[in-house]
Amino acid sequence: MSYLQKNKWAVLAFVLLVLMNLGMLTAFWYFNQRDNERKPLVEGNPIQFLIVSLQLDSLQQEQVILLRDEHRSQVGEVREKNREAKDAFFALLQQHGITDEQVEKAATTAAQYDRELSLITFRHFQKIRALCRPDQQQKFDSLINEVLHTLAQGPAGGPPPRPPIDRQGPPPPHRDGPPQ
């Protein structure tokens, strides 16, 4: 008797498992492709989303990329100033005898940078819209809220988890060897 005849159930089970694995791989690939088609806005890349969705020509694409780089530069500077202003604002918590006027002034300074960020972003998208043809502008108007919501969410995955309020997190690692 041949090996296949003696072990026909084992061979049948093996073939069945191989077919099931192929089916699962095909399903994963198919559904991943469908999800990508349905959700073209790649988080963290709104400019690419606009380029594809608005079907910008090569000249428009170059101009949009230049605007993006200019925007990143402007926003980076203001974000740094904003971070410093908010650090100074919350540093007031450590001081005794501060006046309401000092708190209001520090809060106003931080809020001015938030305002400036909003204005820079508004003007940035206003310039992008001005580059578009009338048919692209209509499409832009329908997409801009989705782009702005994605920008507001930040990078994919969001920020790292914070430690619970009642604990400060794990102790820092010892760099000079074991604790003494």
Structure confidence at residue 111 (pLDDT): 94
Asked whether the beta carbons of 14 and 27 are under 8 A apart, the reply is no
Asked whether the beta carbons of 76 and 55 are under 8 A apart, the reply is no
Residue among 112, 152, 138, 124 nearest 54 (CA):
138
Q: Quick count: other Cβ atoms within 10 Å of Cβ 151?
A: 13
**Residue with more model confidence, 98 or 38:** 98
Q: Tokens in use for 43? A: 């988080």
179 has pLDDT over 70: no
CA-based Rg of the chain, rounded to a whole angstrom? 28
Convert the pLDDT of each residue in 127-174 to its tens digit: 999 999 999 999 999 888 887 776 666 555 455 555 555 555 566 565
Q: Tokens in use for 131? A: 């580059």
Structure confidence at residue 38 (pLDDT): 47
